[in-house]
Amino acid sequence: MRGGMNKAPPENLKQLRTTLPLTDLNQDTTGVEQALARFIDAFTRLDWEAFRLCWVSDPTTFFPHTENHRAGGKDFDKTWQKVFSIIKTAAAASGVTAPPYHSIDPMDLEIMMLGGDAALATFHLMDPRGTARRTIVLKREHGEWLLAHLHASIL
């Protein structure tokens, strides 16, 4: 792991450390960072429409804590809507009844550009069960960066 874990989460996505290993250091990651910020914002607000617009039309996800572990095709929306419901229910039990329903504070963000239309982003989250790792593959479609795959795991 490069750089180790940050002691405290950043205040916002713009404060995250971004590196470009194995690529041209002059490549601009701004579009990727903006796509990640839109995704995190929609997910913390549990705004299904905005959330779904962050993804390509045929995305996949690996979850550490779902029945199927892999969600793609027709199961993608169903699985994520179940996750939204679980988060909203837990938030309500804690007295949170309006967005944001939860927080996502990425640490140690690294973005690797994989050519002109693909990028890989990795980061960590602190989770009560341990350190949560996230790997996201993004694809540029019609000039817009969208999530194509998210892999979630907990150490």
Q: What is the pLDDT of residues 37-55, one digit of tens each?
A: 999 999 999 999 999 999 9
Residue 121: both structure tokens together = 């982003």
Phi first, then psi, for residue 127 (nearest 5°) are -135, 145
Q: What is the pLDDT of residues 10-20, one digit of tens each?
A: 454 444 444 43
Q: What is the pLDDT of residue 92?
A: 97
Q: What is the pLDDT of residue 107?
A: 93
Residue 129: both structure tokens together = 């069960």
Q: What is the pLDDT of residues 72-124, one digit of tens each?
A: 677 889 889 999 999 999 999 999 999 999 999 999 999 999 988 999 999 99
Evaluate whether 137 touches 48 at the Cβ level (below 8 Å): no
In the chain the beta strands, taken as DSSP E runs, fall at 55-62, 70-72, 107-113, 118-127, 130-141, 144-154
d(Cα 44, Cα 132) in Å, to the nearest integer? Answer: 16
Task: Looking at the structure, give the CATH architecture of the domain made up of residues 23-91+104-154.
Answer: Roll (3.10)
Cα-to-chain-centroid distance, residue 81: 16
